[in-house]
Amino acid sequence: MLMIAFALVSVVGYSQDVLGKWFTEAGDAQVEIYQSGDKLNGKIIWLSKGPETKDTHNPDKKLQSRTLVGVNILSDLSKGKDKWEGGKIYNPKNGKNYKCIMWLEGENLKVRGYIGPFYETQTWRRKK
């Protein structure tokens, strides 16, 4: 029983570091990372272009009229040894989904989207 309690505390403690509100590297969006079960997700909560900005690049024509605020762009990230991994990131600028990993580096969050050997890593800053 004690082992289970320690395991739960370590998962919650580890995720607490990344939970919260983050500005993307360009500073044009704010994403709130939240926990759902043992997975992490992240949804857009603010856009510099305004709250009515549409998901115009989405390949699904039915979703192109939805507003981006409220859309999950990070999904199903699982705790690894020192990273959150195995999830997906949606890029609303091109309408594509990529595999995703993220990790803390000092006070910054490194978010990497990748496909095969190709990747792009952004540095997100925590909202203060």
* SS3 state of residue 82: coil
What pLDDT sits at residue 78?
A: 97
Whether 11 shows a pLDDT value over 50: the answer reads no
Q: Residue 76, by phi and psi: left (phi above 0), alpha (psi -120 to 50) or beta? A: left
pTM, full prediction: 0.85
Q: Which one, of 17, 5, 8, 22, lies nearest residue 84 by Cα?
A: 17
Q: What is the pLDDT of residues 24-77, one digit of tens each?
A: 999 999 999 999 999 999 999 999 999 999 999 999 999 999 999 999 999 999
Q: Residues 98-122: what's their mean pLDDT?
A: 96
| Band (16; pLDDT cuts 50, 70, 90) | low
The answer to whether residue 128 scores a pLDDT higher than 90 is: no
Report whether pLDDT(1) > 60: no
For 66, phi then psi, to 5°, come to -75, 150
Distances (CA, A) of 104 to 4, 19, 99, 119, 122: 25, 11, 18, 17, 12
Domains in the chain, CATH or no CATH each? 2-126 (2.40.128.520)
* Residue 4, H or E segment: helix 2-16
